[in-house]
């Protein structure tokens, strides 16, 4: 999570440390007439909560109990769910007014969120598979315990799929984040995930990760080039001296960023909107014709600030551009099963072939490296390399 630039949660509660709050909430639900006890088990009565199903849109008569476990004939309604379960051999248990036992799955979340956030708070998140029954049951039991309970926004993320099939251990197509970031930079994975709206399924593929990796490299190389130019000047950026065309580009991006992030965190639109300020920055870096140096520096500084701010909000900003670029190169070499010295030897070999006008060999070396994601860049100062999408993958 740290590698992915995820902020550390303020609180990471454990259920076992909040048993008293869980028991108190169950007692409150019983006192309010929305739950009943049978032989040490306590069940929530969905018939007592007319709004049951308001999150998922399911009608009470459509709910089917027993999809994963056998239907309990002791329930008043098959859709009733457990708030407290009597102790079974081999399971952990705690003392309660209903005997030894443990809490049901749903009540844990309601009790702990109420303990730290109160009964009303802004955002509740989770996977799309938790809408029903977990979050539906959370709403019911929280409202039954406190009629002022309310959550303003429910945010449910889509599943990760592989070739449009849900990733899961049972299907054998399961891998971990650690396995992914062993081969790709964490920022590439983060950018890849943000390239799809969080509510939509994310279709994982090596091509998608390679594309994201190349994009991160482009962003950071642009920022690095900009920093190299700006480091030669000590003057601070004056907003009133930014050229009108640059100011227009910045203002449009700012408006697009604010509108898209305010529209249910629409990150794909934001990432697409980054293209224009990055392109403008590259144009300024590589063309000086017809532009005063002072105006160029003001424009570059202003563009860097707006891009840095956006990347920081998205969790895509690192403190050192060169470090990220080096890490991206190292990951690319690992995927290509090459060392940097081997790539440099190939570059030297190609340079020799070009000098001897053996263009067929020169092209073959470039093509072989491109196939594994190593792109060669020729310039008056010589040949360098950068990570790229392997041509072998693009041809699949």
Per-residue pLDDT reduced to its tens digit, 51-75: 999 999 988 766 654 444 455 678 9
Q: Considering the domain boundaries, does residue 331 fall inside one?
A: no
Of 280, 314, 348, the last residue of a domain is 314
Q: Which residues, 6 or more positions from 262, have their beta carbon under 8 angstroms from its beta carbon?
A: none
Range(s) of the domain holding residue 226: 165-314
Within-domain flag for 187: yes
Are residue 126 and residue 34 in the same domain, yes or no?
A: yes
Residues 271 and 362 both lie in one domain: no
Long-range contacts of 95-99 (CB under 8 A, 24+ apart): 96/23, 96/26, 97/23, 97/27, 98/37, 98/40, 98/41, 98/42, 99/40
Residue 169 and residue 138 share a domain: no
Average pLDDT for consecutive 10-residue bins of the chain (396 residues)? Answer: 94 97 98 97 96 90 53 84 96 97 97 97 96 97 97 95 78 87 97 97 92 98 95 70 91 97 97 98 80 82 96 96 98 98 98 96 97 95 96 78
Same domain, 153 and 173: no
Same domain flag for 362 and 290:
no
Q: What global pTM score does this model have? A: 0.90
* Sign, CA torsion 305/123/104/16: positive
Domain boundary (283, 314, 345) is at 314
pLDDT tens digits, one per residue of 3-51 = 999 999 999 999 999 999 999 999 999 999 999 999 999 999 999 999 9
Q: Scan for tokens 């709403």, then name that residue.
A: 139
Q: Is residue 321 part of a domain?
A: no
Q: How many domains does the chain have?
A: 3
User: In the chain, how many H helices and how many E strands?
Assistant: 14, 11
Q: Report whether 81 contacts 104 (CB < 8 A).
A: yes
Residues 102 and 194 in one domain: no
Q: Give a yes or no: residue 19 inside a domain.
A: yes
């Amino acid at each position: 999570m740290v590698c992915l630039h995820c902020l550390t949660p303020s609180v990471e509660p454990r259920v076992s440390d909040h048993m008293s709050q869980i028991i108190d909430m169950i007692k409150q639900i019983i006192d309010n007439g929305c739950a009943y006890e049978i032989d040490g088990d306590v069940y929530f009565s969905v018939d007592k909560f007319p709004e049951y199903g308001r999150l998922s849109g399911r009608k009470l008569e459509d709910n089917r109990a027993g999809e994963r476990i056998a239907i309990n004939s002791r329930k008043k309604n098959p859709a009733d769910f457990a708030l407290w379960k009597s102790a079974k051999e081999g399971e952990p248990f705690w003392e309660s007014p209903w005997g030894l036992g443990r809490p049901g799955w749903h009540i844990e979340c309601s009790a702990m969120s109420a303990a730290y956030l109160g009964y009303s708070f802004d955002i509740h998140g989770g996977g799309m598979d938790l809408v029903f029954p977990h979050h539906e049951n959370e709403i019911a039991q929280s409202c039954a315990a406190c009629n002022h309970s309310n959550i303003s926004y429910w945010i449910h993320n889509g599943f990760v799929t592989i070739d449009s099939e849900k990733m899961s251990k049972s299907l054998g197509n399961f891998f971990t984040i650690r396995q992914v970031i062993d081969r790709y930079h964490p920022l590439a994975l983060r950018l890849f995930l943000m390239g799809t709206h969080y509510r939509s399924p994310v279709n994982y593929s090596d091509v998608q990760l390679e594309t994201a990796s190349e994009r991160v490299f482009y962003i950071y190389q642009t920022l690095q080039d900009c920093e190299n130019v700006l480091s030669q000047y000590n003057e601070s950026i004056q907003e009133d001296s930014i050229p009108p065309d640059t100011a227009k580009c910045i203002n449009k991006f700012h408006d697009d960023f604010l509108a898209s992030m305010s529209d249910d965190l629409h990150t794909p639109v934001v990432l697409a909107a980054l293209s224009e300020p990055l392109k403008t920055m590259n144009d300024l870096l590589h063309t000086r014709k017809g532009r005063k140096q002072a105006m160029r520096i003001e424009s570059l500084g202003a563009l860097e600030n707006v891009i840095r701010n956006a990347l920081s909000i998205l969790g895509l900003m690192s403190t050192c551009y060169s470090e990220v670029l080096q890490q991206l190169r190292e990951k690319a070499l690992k995927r290509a099963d090459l060392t940097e010295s081997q790539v440099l030897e190939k570059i030297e070999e190609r340079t020799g072939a070009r000098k001897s006008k053996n263009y067929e060999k020169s092209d073959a070396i470039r093509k072989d490296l491109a196939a594994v994601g190593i792109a060669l860049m020729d310039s008056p100062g010589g040949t360098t390399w950068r990570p790229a999408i392997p041509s072998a993958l693009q041809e699949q």
